[in-house]
Structure 1
Amino acid sequence: MRIQALWRYPVKSLLGEQRQSLAIDERGVVGDRQYAIIDETGKFGSGKNTRRFTRIDNLLSLRAVTKGDAPTVEFPDGRAIDVAADDIDHRLSECLGQPVKIRRETEQSHFDDSPVHLLLSSDLEKLQKSLPGSKIDVRRFRANVILEDIGHLSASDLVGSVLTIGDTRLLITHKTERCRMVTAEQEDLEFDPRILKSIARDFEVDFGVYARVLKAGTIAVGQDVEIGSERVLRANNQDLGI
């Protein structure tokens, strides 16, 4: 396999930025979901309601991009405001129709689940074939790493594997359970409930995989990906520091 595309989302649940390379540390992709929109109750803005998250409509009308040391939020009217700007909370509240603020991650993680999220090109192709009338686009699934899978593996084949990408090592821990976020309207992608129904039918609601970081490093588009086993890790745990 090789890396087909890389994405980072500086603010949770906002549109993100495509990158040619990403730095990986113990937390995950450096700068990914580093900030979040928070409502009056202290929950993080998301596309779903859980113990930690609250559904806030129109988050996907906003984009976060990294410029310098901190992200900038781009608004539908073309304005771009730094997250450190004095009026950012007011502008976000005005745009989203409720009182919110944007804050950097502290003790509570902004991740839905694990630090790094990956998708296989073969799974995207399979989903597109099952939904010829839908637009299956990587942006719907908000993964960090898109793997070009020449051998046509499935996500379940990767669980328990170790991916070595240059100096970086990732342990694939489990599959990604999907929610209504994959159906949401964003940019040129229309609301499409058929996508989640197809994932539930053909993939048992799981689409993509999560990983944790075993060894930090930098990964880049076009880089080769070697697949190893967890057994190899256990045999070499002292070398890997786990």
Structure 2
Amino acid sequence: MRVESLFNYPLKGCRANPMLEAKLGSLGVQGDRRFMAVTHRGQFVNGKKFPKLVLVTCRIDNEQSVIFSAPNMPELKVDLTADDGRVDVRVWRSDVNAKSLGDKANSWISDFLGGDFRLCFYDQNSHRQVNSLPEYPVSFSDSAPVLVASRQSLEALNAYTGRVDKIEQFRPNLVVDADSAFAEETWQRIRIGEVELLAVKGCARCPVINTDVEFAQPDPNQEPLRSLTKLHRRVSDGKVIFGQYFVVTQPGRVVKGDQVEVLQSRPAEQYQPLPDEEQEQYTITFEPMTLNARSAANETILEVAEAAGVALASSCRGGSCGTCRVKLLSGEVEVGADYALTEQEIEQGYILACSCFARSDLVIALED
């Protein structure tokens, strides 16, 4: 097994920078996800709501300056040694004190995205930890410093969908020629060149992967996430997984073509089976329109609603945002994930349509 591709993404959500070699330190691939766009309140901005971010290219010059470019925008060079103050920002549930890139940079990203935004930098005075391994730092990556995916996983997904999606849509740092599809999810410890990595968790996917990286256009049929949901949904929590997050335990250099050695494996997770026409079917009634739809046991309520033409808003498709909240009026469901719900909401009967499966006939009330 060998490394086929290396990428970094200096600005969270930006276009991938292909690399022939890379230094990996405690924060992962050098320069990766060190910059981030945020709202005026400090909340991070990603490609889910602003697909245009994938059109931004970002280059770091020896930690002294950074250059941003985007279609129909003047090139912006920012001096990273200038004192433009600091800003408190939030990425998912983590609060981070970051370096501000100044008014000129803020105006540039605001003009490009169309709103009131800021650009910030994770510098030597910024601090954030991996949630499950607090002894390891992480910059503005979602969960951990290094994301690894295999070419075979992408080939399996493309074979299932009949599409030709690109690995850059999944935003990995290292792409590996593995023994089989999704093999990377069984790697606990690996060595690549001088570097050793320790697994953190699988990468749960959201609609960002539906965005075409050349034109920043989200797929109207919500592919490939819709198909990946059927192909590779984890049984334990209902999350849709593609790729594996790692921390760096031994820093060093990785070169394209380096051998990947698995030092320690772990048991494979269980995943939902592919749709089976013979499995038990249930009727879901959506109120207030009293629309009835049939559901297979391994289809989420959201998938059933979409197939039936029910206008049900959704976003993450993994139980973390709460957009698809509905109320269960009657029946039994299997809950895959409910992270976005409060205990009070759960007691009131609210569920997340993207992460629940019918286990009897249901009556569902849609949100106003």
Shorter chain as normaliser: what TM range? 0.7 to 0.9
1:219 matched to which residue of 2?
A: 254
Name which of 104, 112, 132 aligns with 2:121. 104
Instruction: Give the counterpart letter for 1:72 in structure 2.
Output: I
In the alignment of these two chains, the number of paired residues is 222
Listed as ranges, the gaps of 5+ residues in structure 1 are: 49-54, 232-242
2:193 matched to which residue of 1?
A: 166
| 1:21-40 map, 5 Å | 21-40=21-40
Aligned-residue offset at 1:107: 2.8
Kindly provide the CA deviation profile for residues 114-134 of structure 1, in whole angstroms up to 9, marking residues without a partner as x. 1100111110100110111x3
* Superposition TM-score, scaled by structure 1 size: 0.84
Q: Given the alignment of the two structures, is residue 131 of structure 1 paired with residue 161 of structure 2, yes or no?
A: yes
1:76 matched to which residue of 2?
A: 71
- Give the conservation status (yes or no) of the 8 Å contact 2:193–2:254: yes
Larger relative helix fraction: 1
Spell out structure 1 runs of 4+ moving beyond 6 A.
Answer: none
Aligned-residue offset at 1:62: 1.4
Distance 1:9 1:211 in 2: 16
Identical counterparts, % of pairs: 24
Q: For residues 135 and 230 of structure 1, do their structure 2 counterparts lie closer, same or farther at Cα, with a shift above 3 Å needed?
A: closer
- Give the conservation status (yes or no) of the 8 Å contact 2:194–2:250: yes
- Three-state SS of the structure 2 residue aligned to 1:140 is helix
* Superposition TM-score, scaled by structure 2 size: 0.57
- Give the conservation status (yes or no) of the 8 Å contact 1:159–1:173: no
Q: Given the alignment of the two structures, is residue 206 of structure 1 paired with residue 241 of structure 2, yes or no?
A: yes
Q: For residues 159 and 217 of structure 1, do their structure 2 counterparts lie closer, same or farther at Cα, with a shift above 3 Å needed?
A: same
- Give the conservation status (yes or no) of the 8 Å contact 2:148–2:184: no
Aligned-residue offset at 1:189: 6.7
- Three-state SS of the structure 2 residue aligned to 1:152 is coil
Aligned-residue CA RMSD in angstroms? 2.0
- Three-state SS of the structure 1 residue aligned to 2:226 is helix
Listed as ranges, the gaps of 5+ residues in structure 2 are: 80-101, 129-138, 234-239, 267-368
Distance 2:11 2:26 in 1: 19
2:8 matched to which residue of 1?
A: 8
Name which of 111, 114, 124 aligns with 1:94. 111
